[in-house]
Amino acid sequence: MFDTFKNRLELTGTLTTVTALRISAGRSSEPIGSDLPVIKDALGNPLIPGSSFKGAMRSRLESFLRGIIGNNRKFVANPAIEDEWSLTYKELSDFKETIKNFNPGEKEEHLHQYIVDNTDLVSSLFGSPWIASKFQVRDLTVKADTWFGQYQERDGVSIDRDTETAAEGKLYDFQVVPAGTQFEFKAIVENAAEWELGLLMIGLHQFETEQIPLGGGRSRGLGVVKLDISEMLWFDYPAEQPHLLLDYLKKMVMGDKSAYEDAREFKDDWVQKLIDKLTNTKSSDSITETKR
């Protein structure tokens, strides 16, 4: 899957906190300070882990696909429960047993193909225990001109369900990053199929339209963010024209972006490829159910 370079999509933009944001670093053990601080970088500046962004997008896309295809783990897995993975340890072990007498080259080829064929749609892009992710998101660092070096401190309290008043000894405080703070967004996708890029476009659109919140305290209105993509650079390498890859590598080293195309031109086509993929997937699943 990654042994030969095929294509690359580079995404650059800005993520803005529409409301205050709290991505917790866990309960603090410090005698002075917030009970629940936010995640910070080594300099004490706010930070959004790339895994938080990626995980929120993945969860949203999985929910969409379940609504379209249904709860079929071979198409939409549940990463939290092993029995609901598209490919379990046991299934993989059983397959390895069936090919144990193959020569090493054949064994590797068959195992690779088996994993690819049995990986659900979302994991194909976002990764699984068996397949590396094609979608890489850097940690989002704060833009200095939007950050004034201060966090907001807010109070929280647990409610006694019997008296409907504040529970004794349950007062706490937590940090939030103020609304209006901006973070740099950078991501890369490599060797993705067109339908996978269509899936990614749907996920990015959810962030662009403020539909995916980040962090904790969402029931309090925290975590609303807006993504603005400034650049979508696309390079697709035709295998039969190696000189184009050489030209791309040369220009990349020189900082010349002219080898790239503007990916916005392909968004509609990629989304249509996703629709075609889901339509075919739904049809094949219906045929299988009918045969049963």
DSSP string, 57-71: HHHHHHHHHHHHH-S
- Count other Cβ atoms within 10 Å, centred on residue 267: 17
pLDDT band, residue 248 (cuts 50/70/90): confident
Residue 269 lies inside a defined structural domain of this protein: yes
Burial of residue 136, with CB atoms counted within 10 A of its CB: 0-12 exposed, 13-18 middle, 19 or more buried = middle
Say what percent of the chain tops pLDDT 70.
Answer: 86
pLDDT at 35: 54
Residue 164 lies inside a defined structural domain of this protein: yes
Residue 92 lies inside a defined structural domain of this protein: no
Residue 147 lies inside a defined structural domain of this protein: yes
pLDDT at 169: 56
Q: State if pTM tops 0.75.
A: yes
Mean pLDDT over residues 278-292, rounded? Answer: 64
Residue 13 lies inside a defined structural domain of this protein: yes
Residue 94 lies inside a defined structural domain of this protein: no
pLDDT band, residue 157 (cuts 50/70/90): low
pLDDT at 186: 98
Residue 109 lies inside a defined structural domain of this protein: no
Residue 149 lies inside a defined structural domain of this protein: yes
Give me the domain span that covers residue 143: 7-77+120-291
Per residue in 50-66, pLDDT (tens digit) is 999 999 999 999 999 99
Continuous H helices in the chain: 50-69, 89-98, 104-117, 121-126, 194-208, 242-253, 267-291
Mean pLDDT over residues 270-286, rounded? Answer: 85
Domain count for the chain: 1
pLDDT at 154: 67
Per residue in 90-117, pLDDT (tens digit) is 999 999 999 999 998 899 999 999 999 9
